[in-house]
Structure 1
Amino acid sequence: MDSQAIHNLIQSGMPDAKITVHGADGVHFEALVVSAAFAGKMPLARHRMVYATLGEHMGNAIHALALRTLTPEEADRQ
């Protein structure tokens, strides 16, 4: 598994999202996912939305994924 594959999986499940994924060792990754679909949702619900796009890869090919999930408005403020 590599950063581009994770990006593609998330993008396929959340086509409106802007996604950045980093991870050099092939098992530990960091992702920033910006999506309007996160509006009104708590962080745990946002993370579950992203994990759903990754399916069985979480805990297998992807050992660890640090997530930042923001709405476009939140991203603009940062």
Structure 2
Amino acid sequence: MAMTPEDIERLIKAAIPDSQVTITDLAGDGDHYSARVVSRSFVGLTRVQQHQRVYAAMGGRVGGQLHALQLQTAAPEETEGD
């Protein structure tokens, strides 16, 4: 069963409550998404650590129930001027 953008956003927000999440369907197939996640909890973390937190929030669904999730993560300070 394919995941919806709302499913992905719900999982991320459950694990990272202060996050601002924007989901984009990349292929229109419900299987390839991009997620932009901005969270204060990312302050002081490397980009890899930020991505690990988001993938952990997905609970093992990436690569299974969800084929691909392209990530863009940032702390709020890093997005100023976007």
Taking structure 2 as the reference length, the TM-score comes to: 0.90
1:77 CA displacement: 2.9
Question: Following superposition of structure 1 onto structure 2, how do residues 18-37 of structure 1 map, counting pairs within 5 Å?
Answer: 18-23=20-25, 24-37=28-41
Structure 1 runs, 4 residues or longer, greater than 4 Å off: none
Question: What is the number of residues matched between the two proteins?
Answer: 78
SS of residue matched to 1:31: strand
Q: Aligned to 1:38, which of 32, 36, 42?
A: 42
Q: 1:72 aligns with which of 47, 62, 76?
A: 76
- d(CA) in 1 for partners of 2:47 and 2:8? 20
TM-score (norm 1): 0.94
Which amino acid letter does the alignment assign opposite residue 39 of structure 1?
V
In 2, the alpha carbon distance for the partners of 1:72 and 1:44 equals 17
The gaps in structure 2 that reach 5 residues or longer are none
Higher helix share: 1
Question: Any gaps of 5 or more consecutive residues in structure 1?
Answer: none
CA-atom RMSD, angstroms?
A: 0.9
- Alignment identity in percent? 38
